[in-house]
Amino acid sequence: MTAATVLSVGIATGALAHNPLDHPDWCTENARLVVVDEFEWDGEMLAQEVREASKGSDDTCSSPQSGDTGMKTCGQFDDDWGAVNAMAIHHCDGYAVRFVDATHPDHGTVIHIAEGPEAFNDEEGHHDRYRARMGLRAMCVRCEPVVLEPLRPGKPVDPVR
């Protein structure tokens, strides 16, 4: 499946749990989508990464609801889905480039498109259903400018003899 197909199907069907696009018309102006990486992360490795990352946090956050007591009330954004999604964003950001002659700010930007597991893309329940041990299969898609060669009038090229 091409990146354009995956992107259009994902947006049209709501398969992308949190829309990764900066704006609805991302990469539509004088641009094309290019898959720059495909990855499949092992669930055991991801679960270990999430555990290691959570050791560095104190698992507290303040909010008006907690009365600034340090009780954890951040909820869904402190889950496996959020951690793995952030890892995928960080991974794909490494493929972003700056095109010198870019005609649009989208050119060179990269998003990730998750292909599986299904729980990762569950629009309503991804925070509850997805666990890092399920792994992640995804691709990094970069927006690249379409470069059109100008037509130059002139004499025809002689064939090679």
For residue 112, is it within any domain?
A: yes
Confidence at residue 147, expressed as pLDDT on a 0 to 100 scale: 77
Give residue 118's domain range.
Answer: 31-51+80-145
What's the structural domain count of the chain? 1
State the average pLDDT for the chain: 77
Lowest mean pLDDT among 65-69, 107-111, 143-147, 153-157: 65-69
For residue 105, is it within any domain?
A: yes
Model confidence over 32-64: pLDDT tens digits?
999 999 999 999 999 999 988 887 655 445 444
For residue 132, is it within any domain?
A: yes
Confidence at residue 70, expressed as pLDDT on a 0 to 100 scale: 41
For residue 127, is it within any domain?
A: yes
For residue 125, is it within any domain?
A: yes
For residue 159, is it within any domain?
A: no
Confidence at residue 157, expressed as pLDDT on a 0 to 100 scale: 46
Closest by Cα among 12, 21, 13, 9 to 89: 21
Q: Is the pTM of this model over 0.85?
A: no
For residue 59, is it within any domain?
A: no
Q: Could you identify the residue written with the tokens 């890892």? A: 87
Model confidence over 86-123: pLDDT tens digits?
999 999 999 999 998 888 999 999 999 999 999 999 98
For residue 64, is it within any domain?
A: no
